[in-house]
Amino acid sequence: MSRPNSQHGDMIETLIGQRLPKRDAPAKVTGQTIYGHDLVRPHMLYGKIVRSPYASARIVAIDTSRAEKLAGVRAVLTARDAPHRLFGYGADNLILKGTRVLHVGDEVAAIAASDPYTAQEAAQLVRVEYEPLPAVFDPDDALLPNAPLVHPARGSNLFRQQLYQHGDPDAAFQEADVIVKDEFELPYAANMPLEPCFCLAEFDANDELTLYSTTQVPYLLQRDLANALEMPASHIRILQTAIGGSFGRGLDMYPFEPIAVLLAQKTKCPVRLAFDRREEFLAAPIRQPIRVKMRSAAKRDGTLWARDAHAVLNIGAYASWGTVTTVVMAETVGSLYRVPHARFVADLVYTNSPVTGAMRGFGNPQSTFCVEVQMDRLADALGMDPLEFRLRNVNQPNTTTPQGLKITSCGLQECLEILGDIVDATLIPRKSSCFPQGNDYSFEVRKRDDLRPHSSSLIPPHLARGIGFASTMNVGGGARIYRSDGCGAIVKVDDFGRVTLITGASEIGQGADIVLAQITAETLGMTLDAVRVVNGDTALAPWDVGVHASRTTFIAGNAARLAALDARKQLLETAAEQFHVAPEELDARGGFIFRKNDPTARVPLEKIIRARHFRPFGEPVIGKGWYDPPNEMADEHLRGNLSASYSFAAHAVEVEVDTETGRVRVLRVGAAHDVGRALNPLLIEGQIEGGIHMGIGYALTEQLRVENGRVVNDSLREYGIPTTLDMPPIDIRLVETLDPEGPFGAKGVGELGVTPVAAAISNAIYDAVGVRITSLPITPEKVLRALRAKHGFQSL
Amino acid sequence: MEQLSLALTVNGEAYQVTTRPYATLLDVLHDQLGLTGTHEGCRMGECGSCSVLLDGHAVNACLVLAPDVEGRAVTTVEGLAENGSLSALQAAFVQCGALQCGYCTSGMLISAAAFLKRVQETPTAAEVRRALVGNLCRCTGYAKIIDAILAVATKSPNEMNVASEFAARGHD
C-alpha cells in the first residue's frame, strides 16, 4: 500500500494519498462496535415520549394517573415538571408542551419505565384532551393576512426574510439577450440514517450529567442542554457513541434530549431514549421543502448576465440551524459562476408542518438544482453546448466574487473538461479500484455486466437516452455560522513512542479516524500504526464546533497538523542536542529522526522521547494545536467570505427514459471533483458515491409525503431510499488543486457528491426526451405528464 | 406475563433462553444474548440491518418470532470470523472501504455470505446487486460493497492477501 518517497529513499513512505481503510472497520465487520442503540447501563430505564396527534391544538387536560399506576413505571413527566425556558435556534421550542401543540409529534409527556414494553404501554395510558385549532401547512397560505399564527407572540409566520444582491439585476434583465424563467418545487427529504435518534442520560454521585449521544455538535449540545435545563454547562459531559449515520440530523438539540435528562434526574437512574423507525419519520428533522421562482439571463455571446431568485422555505413549527441554509443557497445563486448581477430573496416561513433541520448539502441541493437547470436552459436558448456555456462562465482561481467569496484554489474548469472526455468515451473506464496495485478486476466485471456501449442503435424505440451536466460549489474550508469555526487538538507522545491525537472532531462514519491519523503521523514523522485517535468526549478533547459543512478534514486536519508540528518541534530540539546539530538539520520520518544530509545516521523517535522525559527538569512530548480558519460570518446581506476555501465538482449523468411509463433509469454517472488534495482516495470516493446515492434518491424516488401536517409514508420502502438496483456505475475523477490553506492541500468533500445530481438528471431527461422537469422527485407521473403536454396524449 | 423457554444454537453455541412469546429473534439476539452486532433499523423487514442466517438462509431477524427458532441454528455477524481472524468477506469489506457508519454492515455481510454460498459460478455485478436488494445503505451508494463481494467471488484467497477461512469452509 505504501508509496515510496523518493526524497528519503524506499524505506520511508508518505501516508498522504494512500487508500487506507477506516480505523473502525474491523470492529464494524465483526459486530463489535457499540452504537447508541446497543448501549446498556446498570439500572437503566427506558424512556418514551407521548406526542401530539394534532398539527395544531390547545391542550385542555392531561391525565397521567393510569400511566403512573402501571407496574414498572418510574416517572411520568408533563410540562409541569420541565423548565419553561424557550430554546432552539429560533428560541421558540419548549421541552414539553403544556398549553398548545404546534405540529404532529410535538412532545406532551414522557415516561421512564423498567422495560420498553412497559414504557410503551404507559405512554398509551396517558390521556390528553385536545381542542383542535386552525392549522396552516403551506408557506404561501401562512403568509396571508388572516393565516393562523404558529407562534402568536411573534405576530407573523415569517421567521425571517433574507436578501442578497450584487450588481443591478432589474436593469440587467432589460439588457439581456436571452432570459429563462421557472418555478421550482423542491420536496421534503429525510436524512434517514439507518440508526434512529438516540440518547442516554446519566447522573453521577456528584450530580454531574453524562449524555451519551449521536449528536454532531457535542460542544454546542453541552451549551444548549445547559440553557434549556437551567443547569450549569460545566456539569455536563457529552459522550458520542458510535453513530449509525447522521447527514446533518445531529446539528441541533431536540426535545428528546432534555427530556431524557429530566427523566434521569427524576428517577436517579440512567434513562435511554431511542427512536424506532416510525418515530424517526415523525420527529427527526428533515430537509426543508422550498419553492423557488428563478430567472436567469445571458448575453448572445454566451456571457452569463443576471440571475434573480425568490425562495420560500417551509421550516415547519420550530426554527432550527437548518434555517441557515439560505446562506449556502445565496452562494450558489451568486457565486457558482461569474454572474455580474444577482439577487436572492428568501422567506423562511413557520407552518404547522414537520420540523425541518439540516441535511447533507444544507440548501445547496435545492439551489444547485435551480441554477443548473437554468444554465442548461440558457445554453439551449443560445444554441450553445451546455459544457461550453458553463466553461465560458466558470470561476477561476484567485478571484473574489461580488459576494465576497475569496476563491483561491479552483478546479471547476478542469472538472468540466474531464466530463467532456468521460462522455466522449464509449465506456466508463473505472480509474480506481479497491485493489490499488493494478488488480483492476472490478472494472473487468463491470465492463461485462454493468456497462454497455453508448449506442442508441441498440435501444428499443420507446427508450430514449440522454446526457446531462451540472456543476456545484460548496464550502471546502469550514463555514463560519457560529462565532468560532475552530477545532482543538492535543498530540500526546508516550514513552514507548505511541502517539495519541485527542481531537474535538467527531466521527460519524466519514473516516476522520484514519484521515486525522494520517495527517498526524505524516507531520510528526511517525508510522501510521503509532498514532491512535481519541475523540467524542467533551470532558477530554478540546472544543470543536461540530462535524458539518464538509469541514472536518480541513479544520480538524489543520488542528491536528499544528499539534503534531508542536510535538515535532519538541522532538527535534531534544534530538538536536543529542546529534550536536541545529534542529533545522534534522528530519523525522517513519518513526526515526535522522540528519537530512545523512539519512543513514538515524535514531528511533522513542529514544529521543525518553531522553527528553527522563532527565533533570525533563518533560514528555505534548503538542497542542488550535485552528480557526481565516473566514468570516456572512453579514445580514449574506455577504462575506464564509469559508477559507471552496470545493468544486461537476457531474455528468446518462439516463434512459421510458416514454411509455415515464420511468427514468440512471445508466451511469461521471463525477469530477476538485478536492484540493486527495489525502485518502478510498474515503473520498466513498463520500462521493454515497452523496450520489442520496442525490439520485432526491432526484427520482425520495419524498416525504406530508398531508395536513402528517407524514403518511413513514417507512423506509415507502419513502424510497434507492436500493442496489437503482444505483448506476460511477466514474470518479479527482482533481488536485493543492489548496493553499488546507492540510497538505486538501479541501472538504463531504457534501459535493449530492448537490449536483438532481440537476444533472433533469438536464439528461431533457436531452433524452425534450421535457424540462422542475419539480422533484421526478416521478414517472411527472415525466408522462410533461411528455403528454409536449406531444399530446395520442402521440404516446 | 407468560414466558417461553427456547433452545437454539447461535454461532455454534447452544443457548437456552427465557423470553416473551411475542419477542422476535432480533430481541433475543440483541437484548438477551448481547449479540449487538445484529442491528435494529426498522422492525418491519425493510432495511436488512438485522439480517442473520437461519439454518443457512438469510432472514430479517425482526420478522422471525422467537418461538419459531426453537431447535434451529442461527449465524450472526459475530459468527462470521473464525479463530479471531476476519473471513475473506469481512477482510474485503475492510480493504475495499465498503462501510462508513457501519450500521448496515452486519446485514450486508450476512446477505453477501448467503449469496456467495448459493452461487455456483463467478457472479456478475448484476447478480450481486439483486442479492443485496433487501439491504439498505445510506452511506456508501453500495459501490464499494459490490466491489468487496466481487473481490471475494473472483479472487483466490492468495490474491486477496487476506485470511482465507471463508473461501475454505463456507461461512457457517
Write the pLDDT tens digit of every residue in A366-395.
999 999 999 999 999 999 999 999 999 999
Ramachandran angles phi, psi of A64, nearest 5°: -105, 5
Inter-residue long-range contacts of A709-713, CB under 8 Å, 24+ positions, other chains counted: A709/A55, A709/A56, A709/A103, A709/A104, A709/A135, A709/A137, A709/A351, A709/A352, A709/A353, A709/A354, A710/A55, A710/A104, A711/A104, A711/A281, A711/A282, A711/A354
Whether A683 and chain B come into contact, CB under 8 Å, resolves to yes
Judged against a pLDDT cut of 80, whether residue A10 lies above it is answered with: no
Question: Do B11 and B71 reside in the same domain of the chain?
Answer: yes
Question: In this predicted structure, what is the pLDDT of residue A456?
Answer: 45
Residues in chain B closer than 8 A to A435 (CB atoms): 95, 151
Of B91, B139, B159, the CB nearest to A690: B139
CB contact set of A331 (below 8 Å; sequence gap of 6+): A403, A405, A473, A475, A642
Judged against a pLDDT cut of 50, whether residue A459 lies above it is answered with: yes
Question: In this predicted structure, what is the pLDDT of residue B120?
Answer: 82
Dig out the grid coordinates for A390 from the structure.
458553463
Question: In this predicted structure, what is the pLDDT of residue B2?
Answer: 82
Of A21, A38, A277, the CB nearest to B42: A277
Per-residue confidence band for A725, with pLDDT thresholds at 50, 70 and 90? very high
Question: Do B20 and B69 reside in the same domain of the chain?
Answer: yes
Q: Across the interface, do B136 and A721 touch by the CB < 8 Å criterion? A: yes
Report which of A732, A756, A764, A754 is spatially closest to residue A656, judged by C-alpha positions. A764
Query: Tell me, what CATH number does B148's domain have?
Result: 1.10.150.120
Question: In this predicted structure, what is the pLDDT of residue A425?
Answer: 66
Whether B37 and chain A come into contact, CB under 8 Å, resolves to yes
A451 DSSP 8-state letter: -
Dig out the grid coordinates for A522 from the structure.
505524516
Judged against a pLDDT cut of 50, whether residue A11 lies above it is answered with: no
CA of B108: which chain A residue's CA is closest? A29
Question: In this predicted structure, what is the pLDDT of residue A423?
Answer: 84
Quickly count: other Cβ atoms within 10 Å of residue B122's Cβ: 10
Per-residue confidence band for A650, with pLDDT thresholds at 50, 70 and 90? very high
Over range A102-110, report the average pLDDT.
98
Question: Do B153 and B130 reside in the same domain of the chain?
Answer: yes
Q: How far apart are CA A665 and CA A486, in angstroms?
A: 43
Over range B13-17, report the average pLDDT.
97
Question: In this predicted structure, what is the pLDDT of residue A350?
Answer: 98
Of A194, A435, A694, the CB nearest to B136: A194
Quickly count: other Cβ atoms within 10 Å of residue A127's Cβ: 14
Cα separations in angstroms, A393 against A40, A451, A493: 56, 33, 50
Whether B147 and chain A come into contact, CB under 8 Å, resolves to yes
Express each pLDDT in A317-370 by its tens digit. Answer: 999 999 999 999 999 999 999 999 999 999 999 999 999 999 999 999 999 999
Q: How far apart are CA A761 and CA A763, in angstroms?
A: 5
- Which residues lie across from A163 on neighbouring strands? A345
Question: Do B126 and B64 reside in the same domain of the chain?
Answer: no
Whether B75 and chain A come into contact, CB under 8 Å, resolves to no
Express each pLDDT in A245-299 by its tens digit. Answer: 999 999 999 999 999 999 999 999 999 999 999 999 999 999 999 999 999 999 9
Concatenated DSSP letters of A329-391: HHHHHHHSB--SEEEEEEEEEE-SSPPB---TTTTHHHHHHHHHHHHHHHHHHHT--HHHHHH
Residues in chain A closer than 8 A to B39 (CB atoms): 35, 37-38, 194-195, 244
The number of CA neighbours under 13 Å toward the Cβ of A623 is: 26
Q: How far apart are CA A536 and CA A492, in angstroms?
A: 17
Specify burial of residue A684 (Cβ count, 10 A radius: 0-12, 13-18, 19+). Answer: buried
Per-residue confidence band for A22, with pLDDT thresholds at 50, 70 and 90? very high
Per-residue confidence band for A452, with pLDDT thresholds at 50, 70 and 90? very low
Q: How far apart are CA A720 and CA A699, in angstroms?
A: 11
Per-residue confidence band for B154, with pLDDT thresholds at 50, 70 and 90? confident
Question: In this predicted structure, what is the pLDDT of residue A451?
Answer: 38
Q: How far apart are CA A657 and CA A463, in angstroms?
A: 6
Q: How far apart are the first and last CA of chain B?
A: 35
Per-residue confidence band for A601, with pLDDT thresholds at 50, 70 and 90? confident
Last residue of a domain, one of B44, B60, B79: B79
A591 DSSP 8-state letter: T
Question: In this predicted structure, what is the pLDDT of residue A461?
Answer: 81
| Rounded (to 5) percent helix, strand, coil in chain A | 30, 25, 40
Sheet strands (E) in A429-550: 463-475, 487-493, 499-503, 531-534
Concatenated DSSP letters of A227-269: HHHTS-GGGEEEEE-B-S--TTGGGS--THHHHHHHHHHHHTS
Question: In this predicted structure, what is the pLDDT of residue A458?
Answer: 57
User: Would you tell me which residues 254-283 of chain A have a C-beta closer than 8 angstroms to some C-beta of chain B?
Assistant: 276-277
Q: Cis before residue A777, ω within 30 degrees of 0?
A: yes
Question: Do B75 and B97 reside in the same domain of the chain?
Answer: no
Express each pLDDT in A535-561 by its tens digit. Answer: 999 999 999 999 999 999 999 999 999
Express each pLDDT in A670-724 by its tens digit. Answer: 999 999 999 999 999 999 999 999 999 999 999 999 999 999 999 999 999 999 9
Burial A449-476 (b: 16+ CB within 10 A, else e): bbbeebeeeeeeeebbbbbbbbbbbbbb
CB contact set of A409 (below 8 Å; sequence gap of 6+): A397, A645, A674, A676, A737, A738, A739, A740, A742, A745, A747
Judged against a pLDDT cut of 60, whether residue A438 lies above it is answered with: no
Query: Taken in order B27, B28, B34, B39, is the CA torsion positive or negative?
Result: negative
Cα separations in angstroms, B165 against A661, B75, B86, B106: 47, 16, 8, 18
Q: How far apart are CA A672 and CA A623, in angstroms?
A: 37
Residues in chain B closer than 8 A to A193 (CB atoms): 101, 103, 138
Question: In this predicted structure, what is the pLDDT of residue A198?
Answer: 98
Q: How far apart are CA A70 and CA B7, in angstroms?
A: 32
Question: Do B40 and B108 reside in the same domain of the chain?
Answer: no
User: Would you tell me which residues 104-143 of chain A have a C-beta closer than 8 angstroms to some C-beta of chain B?
Assistant: 117
**Largest Cα–Cα distance in chain B?**
56
Between helix A681-696 and helix B143-154 the angle, nearest 10°, is 120
Last residue of a domain, one of B60, B79, B98: B79
Q: How far apart are CA B33 and CA B26, in angstroms?
A: 10
User: Would you tell me which residues 651-670 of chain A have a C-beta closer than 8 angstroms to some C-beta of chain B?
Assistant: none
Q: Which of residues A449 and B20 earns the better pLDDT score?
A: B20
The answer to whether A59 and A101 have CB atoms below 8 angstroms apart is yes
| Rounded (to 5) percent helix, strand, coil in chain B | 40, 15, 45
Q: CA of B86 to nearest chain A CA: how many angstroms apart?
A: 8
CA A166, A169, A173 angle in degrees (round to 5)?
A: 155
Whether B21 and chain A come into contact, CB under 8 Å, resolves to no
Question: Do B160 and B130 reside in the same domain of the chain?
Answer: yes
Mean pLDDT of chain A: 93
Question: Do B75 and B92 reside in the same domain of the chain?
Answer: no
Over range B22-39, report the average pLDDT.
97
Question: In this predicted structure, what is the pLDDT of residue A2?
Answer: 37
Judged against a pLDDT cut of 70, whether residue B169 lies above it is answered with: no
Report which of B46, B106, B60, B116 is spatially closest to residue B79, judged by C-alpha positions. B106
Of A26, A450, A509, the CB nearest to B100: A509
Strands A664-674 and A45-51: unpaired
- Which residues lie across from A310 on neighbouring strands? A293, A345
- Which residues lie across from A710 on neighbouring strands? A707
Helix (H) or strand (E) holding A139: helix A139-142
The answer to whether A620 and A495 have CB atoms below 8 angstroms apart is yes
Whether B112 and chain A come into contact, CB under 8 Å, resolves to no
Question: Do B62 and B23 reside in the same domain of the chain?
Answer: yes
The number of CA neighbours under 13 Å toward the Cβ of A67 is: 28
Cα separations in angstroms, A121 against A33, A46, A71, A111, A493: 31, 12, 10, 10, 53
Q: How far apart are CA A413 and CA A652, in angstroms?
A: 14
Q: How far apart are CA A21 and CA A695, in angstroms?
A: 24
Query: What's this model's pTM, rounded to 2 decimal places?
Result: 0.94
Q: How far apart are CA B24 and CA B69, in angstroms?
A: 9
Q: How far apart are CA A136 and CA A134, in angstroms?
A: 7
Structural domain including B57 reads 4-79
Q: How far apart are CA B104 and CA B89, in angstroms?
A: 15
Whether B121 and chain A come into contact, CB under 8 Å, resolves to no
Question: Do B73 and B103 reside in the same domain of the chain?
Answer: no
Q: Across the interface, do B102 and A244 touch by the CB < 8 Å criterion? A: yes
Strands A57-63 and A45-51: unpaired
Question: Do B92 and B164 reside in the same domain of the chain?
Answer: yes
Specify the 3-state DSSP secondary structure of A553. Answer: helix
Report which of A267, A242, A272, A279 is spatially closest to residue A257, judged by C-alpha positions. A272
Q: Across the interface, do B102 and A31 touch by the CB < 8 Å criterion? A: no
Burial A434-448 (b: 16+ CB within 10 A, else e): bbeeeebbbbebbbe
Q: Across the interface, do A725 and B41 touch by the CB < 8 Å criterion? A: no
**Largest Cα–Cα distance in chain A?**
94
Give the distance, in angstroms, between the CA of residue A642 and the centroid of all CA atoms in the same chain.
16
Q: Across the interface, do A686 and B97 touch by the CB < 8 Å criterion? A: yes
CA of A28: which chain B residue's CA is closest? B102
Over range B86-114, report the average pLDDT.
97
Question: Do B123 and B102 reside in the same domain of the chain?
Answer: yes
Q: How far apart are CA A257 and CA A212, in angstroms?
A: 10
Residues in chain B closer than 8 A to A438 (CB atoms): none
Count of the separate structural domains present in chain B: 2
Query: Tell me, what CATH number does B36's domain have?
Result: 3.10.20.30
Q: How far apart are CA A513 and CA B81, in angstroms?
A: 24
Q: How far apart are CA B161 and CA A36, in angstroms?
A: 34
Specify burial of residue A616 (Cβ count, 10 A radius: 0-12, 13-18, 19+). Answer: exposed
Express each pLDDT in A149-175 by its tens digit. Answer: 999 999 999 999 999 999 999 999 999
Of A33, A247, A717, the CB nearest to B102: A33
Last residue of a domain, one of B52, B79, B106: B79
Q: Across the interface, do B78 and A30 touch by the CB < 8 Å criterion? A: yes
Of A30, A245, A445, the CB nearest to B103: A245
In percent, the amount of chain A with pLDDT more than 70 equals 93
Judged against a pLDDT cut of 60, whether residue B162 lies above it is answered with: no
Q: CA of A778 to nearest chain B CA: how many angstroms apart?
A: 19
Question: In this predicted structure, what is the pLDDT of residue A47?
Answer: 98
Over range A486-501, report the average pLDDT.
97
Phi-psi category of residue A16: left, alpha or beta, with phi > 0 → left and psi -120 to 50 → alpha: beta
Report which of A335, A172, A323, A202 is spatially closest to residue A263, judged by C-alpha positions. A202
Judged against a pLDDT cut of 60, whether residue A436 lies above it is answered with: no
Question: In this predicted structure, what is the pLDDT of residue A515?
Answer: 98
